[in-house]
Amino acid sequence: MTPSQLEIFVRALSRLLGWIYMACWSASFYPQPIYNFRRGSTAGTSIDFPTVNWLGFLFYAIYNGAFLYSPVIRSQYAARHPLSEEPTVRFNDLAFAVHAVILSLIVYSQFWPIIWGLQVSRFQRISKPIAGLFWGSVLAPLIVIWIVLSKSPDGGYDPSIWAWIDVIYTFSYIKLVITIVKYMPQAWMNYRRQSTLGWDINQILLDLAGGVLSLLQLVMDSSLQSDWSGITGNPVKLFLGNVSIIFDLIFITQHYILYRGAESKPVDPHSDSDLTTPLLADESTQAR
């Protein structure tokens, strides 16, 4: 195989991996809402998770859309990364992000009985740290936009100083922070209950596969350009995959090792637990 043929093959493989990881990540959004709907309850799922999840993916969609279709952002990226041909963002990244926003909103809406009629604990309320993260995430891009407009003499078009690309990077960093934080309430809930019942493990397995393939595609794309700054130039994709993998491994450890075979325990309705309704007896097999 000649070098040119090898390059064509690797590019095709990169595109294929992109669509496969998108399919895995996209599919990972379906098990939990289907599981909740079948049970008629959101018990076992922390409300904090979907509260910030949809916002994070909305920002991720904005980030991908800007790098794909904004001439300003693409030119500023080229100026800051002269060795790269183009940003290592693909259409499948945008398609995945838009799909994720929709599915994340569906899961969030399941905590509103008036919409789905599911049983929701009266203790399922958004925690103060997550509420602070949500509103801080909304405020942060506005602050960066103000900095760009006030510090840049040409209104943010000079990439050598504060520019519009920094606003787009802000969306990506917020997405990263949300990804790091959003899993914590769920992992803590599982620890308190000593059980993963109500938290569908299938979504985690699909998420893990998507994370590994996402990182592999990013490495391949940067290798093709002979410029490893393509990885650092797309920090959200790099760290998003790594963070997701770490938490996926935590949930897998909880499910298959620490709390393997654990049954849900009745919860005191006067406690501050997130669960007031025990899970059905046969859900231990469904969750596996």
Three-state secondary structure readout of 110-167: CCCHHHHCCECCCCCCCCHHHHHHHHHHHHHHHHHHHHHHHHCCCCCCCCCCCCHHHH
CA distance 205 to 4: 36
- Residue 284, pLDDT score: 38
Q: By the 8 A CB rule, do 17 and 213 touch? A: yes
- Residue 240, pLDDT score: 67
Decide if pLDDT at 210 tops 60.
yes
Decide if pLDDT at 280 tops 90.
no
- Residue 231, pLDDT score: 60
Looking at per-residue pLDDT, the higher value among 224 and 151 belongs to: 151
Looking at per-residue pLDDT, the higher value among 263 and 223 belongs to: 223
Enter the tokens of residue 15: 């595109």
- Residue 234, pLDDT score: 60
Enter the tokens of residue 90: 């693909």
**Which of 98-112, 193-207, 257-271 is least confident?**
257-271
**Which of 5-9, 29-33, 280-284 is least confident?**
280-284
Q: Which domain holds residue 21?
A: 3-286
Looking at per-residue pLDDT, the higher value among 282 and 158 belongs to: 158
Decide if pLDDT at 129 tops 90.
yes
- Residue 267, pLDDT score: 43
In the three-class reduction of DSSP (H, G, I as helix; E, B as strand; rest coil), residue 86 is classed as coil
Average pLDDT over residues 194-215: 90
Residue 180 — very low, low, confident or very high, per pLDDT cuts 50/70/90?
A: confident
Q: By the 8 A CB rule, do 59 and 109 touch? A: no
Q: What one-character DSSP code corresponds to residue 266?
A: P
Measured CA distances, 230 to 5, 39, 88 (Å): 22, 45, 6
- Residue 102, pLDDT score: 96
Structural domain count, the chain:
1
Share of the chain above pLDDT 70, in %: 84
- The pLDDT tens digits for 50-94 are 999 999 999 999 999 999 999 999 999 988 888 776 787 888 789
For the chain, count helices (H), then strands (E): 12, 0
Decide if pLDDT at 140 tops 50.
yes
Enter the tokens of residue 24: 């895995």
